[in-house]
Structure formats: structure tokens, C-alpha cells
Amino acid sequence: MHGNPTIVARDPLLKVENLVVEYPIGARTVHAVSDVSLEIARGETLGLVGESGCGKSTLGRAVLQLRRAKSGRVLFDGADLTALQGDALRKMRHRVQLIFQDPIASLNPRRRIGDIIAEPLVIAGVKDAKKRRELVCETLSAVGLDPALVVGRLPHEFSGGQCQRICIARALVLNPEFIICDEPVSALDVSIRAQILNLLEEMKQRFALTLLFIAHDLAVVKAVSDRVAVMYLGRLCEVGPSAQLFDKPAHPYTALLIEAIPVPDPDVRPAESVAVGEPPSPMAPPSGCRFRTRCPRADAKCAAEVPELRPVASGQYVACHHPLI
């Protein structure tokens, strides 16, 4: 394992250090997250992007300790979550919440919305039922839902967009500092995605939140993130300020993702893809640079040596032996 790269964010709220997460499958191992280090500053939105199966959700779950890492550390406001157990971990978890991709599936179909949103308060030990009701109503109003019309109803009575508002309310009710949004708009109708993204932005400002925003769609990530981290097959390829990374990507994989963003003009054809084929299996990742089997710049060094993240421009870091800038 190599050292922690200096992806220095001002006043980091979250620091992930050399995180390794694996899933044993019989005699084999899925290398889902391999030696990932990153920092997220207080009040920042870090976008995490990469194709399906590259380990984004696993990284998010490992930050929350829903999946324990094989090695590495997760420091939240200075406390090492990987070393916490029981009550101490539960207390820290109130400060970090998760919003899932599929809002309907993540709501218990048999429970009323008022109870669903009050549940984190019950678990956190808020015993006063009147206080819980007040907090539930306040939070529902904040996400644009009328409490009087919502609390007594069941999830199936709401649309996907309304369910995601309910999930956002459930995540906000304990007044957290940090929210991991795991593809929060992917399952929603295109017409309401912007509403939910705007709501998240509004909540971020109003409640001074810090966000890790996971998506496979680079266009969505670009719209909401201060900085972007690009992940491929369990490793980080590139991290940098959003506009800068889009303007001058340093990693061939980042360039590929940018080229693949659909162009609104039907007469403009998307650029030819620089990469070929499917990603390799995370059970047998390529030696050296994991992107080398799809990279037009790959050479012998790429097969022999794992490229470490290193600075290429102000605030921009790349893990590539032959970067584009």
C-alpha cells in the first residue's frame, strides 16, 4: 500500500485514508475499493463519479461503517470511525446520513410517513412525542411538503419525486452535518431531477451541510459539485475542482467520461470513445494501472507500476503515468 496523497481540502470534515474494502466470494475476492484516500472540506460538495460497479456505493457505505473496511481509516471531524463500536459509533452516525438511489424501495411500505421520518429521532433517544412531531413537521415543510397532507399517508400514495423529498426529510431530521447522496436522482423521471437537485442545494445552504454526491452521470455531478473525484475499478483516477477538471481533464478515463456526455444538439455526434471494451472484473483487476486494458496510452510502465495520485495543476491530482496535461 502506498502513502496518503496530499488531496488537501481546507478544514476537512471527512478524511478517508488508504481505504480498502473487499467482498470475499467463495475462494475469490472482489476488490471493490483499493487504497482510496480523499478529503472533503466543511461545506463542500464532492462529486464521486465512475461507471457501474467501480465501487462508489461501497466507498459510501464504508464511510458510514455499514461495511467495515479491510484496512484504512475514516476520520470524521477528527474521530476515527473505523475504530468506533456500539454507542460511540451510533452517536457519530447521527451526524452522517445517507440518501439512496431508489426512494420508493428505501421507504417501508407499511409505515406512515410521519413514523418513517420520526424513526431516526426515536433511535436517537428523543423521548418527547410532541417534540418529535414538531421536528417531523418542520422538516417536511423544509423539503416542500405540507405536513398536514403527508404524515398520515403511506409511501405508495406518493410519486418518486415526492418519495425522494420524504427520504431527504428523513435524512435531515437529526440535523446532520454530512450527507452521502448515493445516486439520488438516477431513479427519477428526468423532468423532476432538477427539482430534487435544487432542493438538495437549498438544504445544503440552509443547514450548512457537507455532501458526498455519488453519480455515474458526469453531467449531474458537474452541476452540483465543487470538486469531483473520478473512480475506476476501485481506485481514484483523478480529483480536482469541478470546472477545471471538465475544462482540462488529466486522466484518459476522465476525458472518456467527458466525451461520453450526450450533446444536446442532434447534429453534433459524440466524439469517438477513446476506450474499448468492458471494464475488467474487480475479482482480477489488471496489474499496474487498472485502466490500462482500455487506455490508448498504455505502455509497459502502466502494466508494471500502480500510478499514484500526484498533483498536475492547482488542486488537481491524477493517478496516471502519462497524463493529458
Sheet holding 79-80, edge to edge: 28-41, 12-25, 71-76, 79-80
Which positions from 56 to 95 touch ligand ATP by CB under 6 A, shown as an x/- string?
xxx-------------------------------------
Q: How many CA atoms lie within 13 A of 176 on its CB side?
A: 30
Helix axes 160-172, 129-142, angle to 10 degrees: 130
Beta bridge partners of 264: none
Which positions from 250 to 289 touch ligand SF4 by CB under 6 A, shown as an x/- string?
-xx------------------------------------x
Identify which of 177, 162, 181 has the alpha carbon closest to the alpha carbon of residue 113: 162
Give the number of residues in contact with ligand SF4, rule: CB under 6 A. Answer: 13
Q: Is 54 in the site for ligand ATP (CB under 6 A)?
A: yes
Which positions from 189 to 228 touch ligand ATP by CB under 6 A, shown as an x/- string?
---------------------------x------------
Of 18, 23, 94, 311, which lies in the binding site for ligand ATP, with binding defined by CB under 6 A? 23
Cell of 85: 463500536
Radius of gyration (C-alpha) of the chain in whole angstroms: 20
Identify which of 129, 106, 102 has the alpha carbon closest to the alpha carbon of residue 116: 106
Of 302, 309, 312, 317, which lies in the binding site for ligand SF4, with binding defined by CB under 6 A? 302
Q: Is 58 in the site for Mg ion (CB under 5 A)?
A: no
Of 297, 308, 313, 315, which lies in the binding site for ligand SF4, with binding defined by CB under 6 A? 297
Residue 182 CB, nearest distance to Mg ion (Å)?
A: 6
Q: Residue 297's binding partner, choosing from Mg ion, ligand SF4, ligand ATP, none, with beta-carbon cut-off 5 to 8 A by kind?
A: ligand SF4
Q: Is 57 in the site for Mg ion (CB under 5 A)?
A: yes
Alpha helices, H only, the chain: 56-63, 86-93, 113-123, 129-142, 147-150, 160-172, 190-206, 218-224, 242-247, 252-259, 300-304
CA 286/CA 307 separation, integer angstroms: 13
Give the number of residues in contact with ligand ATP, rule: CB under 6 A. Answer: 14
Q: Residue 150's binding partner, choosing from ligand SF4, ligand ATP, Mg ion, none, with beta-carbon cut-off 5 to 8 A by kind?
A: none
CA 122/CA 210 separation, integer angstroms: 24
Q: Which residues bind ligand ATP (CB under 6 A)?
A: 23, 25, 30, 32, 50, 52-58, 216, 282
